[in-house]
């Protein structure tokens, strides 16, 4: 790899670094729930952490402005980075190196992700998934931008039939429960299929017992080995079955969209202003839709029996997070282009230039706060109180990034990743 090298710091694209910095800090607004509360609380606030007053409003803001949006930005930018690197090499006559470099770049993320999940015990790791599915995306990088965008949207649209299938199964169980009630009132025998469907519906509606979180609380507040034992099966399923059932469509769709948008000049701040204004407007619509759906579900006391509402919420989720993420990105891109709020965009860009290191640093800091080998706060704070942890961790990351970059060219994990990708030690100082 002597003919290629990482892009020098002076040639980095400020808008991309700024958006990536927002993604790093913003994703903790959601991840803090999984760091600090029992896992069931991530999807349902009645499970833990409080669901009224400030906790309710925290959940609504998370749902409307952050849930999935920051991860969407990560995925879009990962795809954008692929084509920008490939195009940069092609422009300098070294295009033949692109596939090799990109494949190395993705493949090295896989062991990083395994360590992140199984050693550092972060159940929400995305490094493994990006590495695994990024390998597939490398072969799609030279499609036309329009093809990238259309294919990406079609991949995200796969969630509509996926969610409808779940809804149809639940609706059948609800109908079987109604049939069982009617037959029972008439003292008629229940067919086996009706009885089984009614039982599944009852289990769906049944509230969790008061001690549902006790085992998890005890494990996470225990030793590293306690955490590893408790999360072993979950971690394996998340990096296997769940990848193919869910993340394939999610990540591949966003990667393809990121590739197309990068080639169209969106992330390099080359798109006209009206494009970004339209993206902000789309983000506002997505925010409104997500807020209304979340508020409507809260009005049912988060009932899993509200299957029509949950179908609308889940089927629209991929597109809401895409539009919401682009709205965030466009707001920052316009700020960077106008030179506005430089103290903010500069801080975000510093974090974004070290996104890999900061992503893992979040895990180190949050497990030190919540897990048994640290302060052991797991399950002791309310949802709204965890936002103070988000603020504190974010300030540490900004300070760390700014101070580190005064002396070093890139973050410590970026340096390691680049050295492995280019298969030679990269300069760190200077």
Does residue 78 lie within any of the structural domains?
yes
Query: For residues 411 and 409, what is the distance between their CA atoms, to the nearest angstrom?
Result: 7
The reported pLDDT for the residue numbered 109 is: 98
* Per-10-residue mean pLDDT, the chain, length 430: 64 92 98 97 94 98 98 98 94 90 97 97 96 97 97 98 97 97 93 96 92 96 97 93 93 98 93 97 98 98 97 98 98 96 97 98 98 97 98 98 96 97 91
The reported pLDDT for the residue numbered 25 is: 98
Give me 65's structure tokens.
Answer: 């402005």
The reported pLDDT for the residue numbered 95 is: 86
Query: For residues 381 and 395, what is the distance between their CA atoms, to the nearest angstrom?
Result: 20
The reported pLDDT for the residue numbered 7 is: 72
Query: For residues 315 and 306, what is the distance between their CA atoms, to the nearest angstrom?
Result: 14
Does residue 414 lie within any of the structural domains?
yes
CB-based contacts of 190, cutoff 8 Å, min separation 6: 180, 183, 184, 198
Query: For residues 277 and 256, what is the distance between their CA atoms, to the nearest angstrom?
Result: 22
Range of the structural domain that residue 48 is part of: 9-422
Report which DSSP code applies to 413.
Answer: H
Query: Which residues on adjacent β-strands are paired with residue 429?
Result: 408
Does residue 158 lie within any of the structural domains?
yes
Does residue 263 lie within any of the structural domains?
yes
Q: Which of 425, 376, 38, 416 is nearest to 231 (CA)?
A: 38
Query: For residues 417 and 423, what is the distance between their CA atoms, to the nearest angstrom?
Result: 10
Does residue 85 lie within any of the structural domains?
yes
CA distances from 128 to 68, 122, 125, 319 (A): 18, 12, 7, 24
Query: Which residues on adjacent β-strands are paired with residue 408?
Result: 429
Helices 159-185 and 307-338: crossing angle in degrees, nearest 10, is 160
Does residue 428 lie within any of the structural domains?
no
The reported pLDDT for the residue numbered 430 is: 73
Does residue 408 lie within any of the structural domains?
yes
Place of tokens 């179908």: 311
Query: For residues 254 and 156, what is the distance between their CA atoms, to the nearest angstrom?
Result: 8
Does residue 3 lie within any of the structural domains?
no
Give me 14's structure tokens.
Answer: 């400020």
Q: How many domains does the chain have?
A: 1
The CB density around residue 53, as the number of other CB atoms within 10 Å, is 10
The reported pLDDT for the residue numbered 4 is: 67
């Amino acid at each position: 790899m002597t003919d290629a090298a990482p892009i020098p710091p002076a040639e980095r694209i400020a808008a991309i670094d700024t958006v990536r910095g927002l993604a790093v800090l913003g994703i903790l607004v959601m991840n803090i729930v999984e760091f600090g509360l029992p896992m069931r609380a991530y999807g349902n606030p009645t499970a833990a952490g409080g669901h009224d007053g400030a906790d309710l409003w925290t959940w609504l803001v998370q749902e409307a402005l952050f849930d999935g949006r920051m991860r969407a930005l990560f995925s879009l930018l990962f795809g954008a980075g692929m084509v920008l690197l490939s195009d940069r090499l092609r422009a300098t006559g070294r295009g033949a190196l692109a596939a090799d470099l990109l494949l190395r770049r993705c493949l090295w993320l896989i062991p990083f992700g395994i360590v992140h999940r199984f050693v550092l015990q972060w159940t929400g790791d995305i490094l493994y998934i990006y590495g695994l599915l990024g390998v597939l995306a490398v072969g799609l990088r030279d499609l036309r931008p329009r093809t990238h965008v259309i294919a990406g949207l079609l991949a995200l649209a796969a969630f509509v039939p996926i969610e409808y299938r779940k809804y149809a199964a639940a609706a059948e169980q609800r109908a079987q429960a109604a049939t069982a009630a009617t037959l029972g009132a008439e003292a008629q025998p229940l067919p086996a299929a009706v009885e089984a469907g009614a039982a599944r519906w009852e289990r769906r509606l049944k509230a969790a017992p008061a001690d549902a979180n006790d085992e998890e609380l005890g494990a996470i507040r225990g030793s590293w080995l306690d955490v590893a034992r408790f999360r072993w099966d979950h971690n394996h399923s998340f990096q296997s079955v769940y990848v193919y059932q869910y993340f394939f469509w999610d990540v591949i769709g966003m990667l393809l969209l990121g590739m197309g948008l990068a080639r169209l000049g969106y992330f390099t701040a080359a798109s006209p202003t009206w494009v970004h204004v339209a993206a902000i407007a789309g983000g506002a619509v997505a925010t409104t839709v997500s807020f209304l759906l979340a508020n409507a579900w809260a009005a049912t006391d988060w009932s899993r029996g509200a299957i029509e509402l949950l179908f609308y919420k889940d089927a629209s989720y991929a597109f809401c997070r895409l539009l919401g993420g682009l709205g965030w990105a466009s707001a920052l891109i316009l700020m960077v282009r106008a030179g506005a709020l430089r103290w903010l965009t500069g801080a975000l860009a510093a974090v974004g230039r070290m996104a890999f290191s900061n992503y893992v640093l979040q895990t180190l800091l949050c497990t030190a706060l919540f897990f048994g080998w640290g302060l052991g706060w797991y399950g002791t704070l309310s949802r709204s109180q965890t936002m103070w942890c988000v603020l504190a961790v974010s300030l540490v990351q900004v300070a760390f990034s700014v101070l580190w970059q005064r002396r070093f060219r890139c973050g410590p994990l970026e340096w390691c990743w680049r050295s492995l990708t280019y298969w030679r030690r990269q300069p760190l100082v200077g």
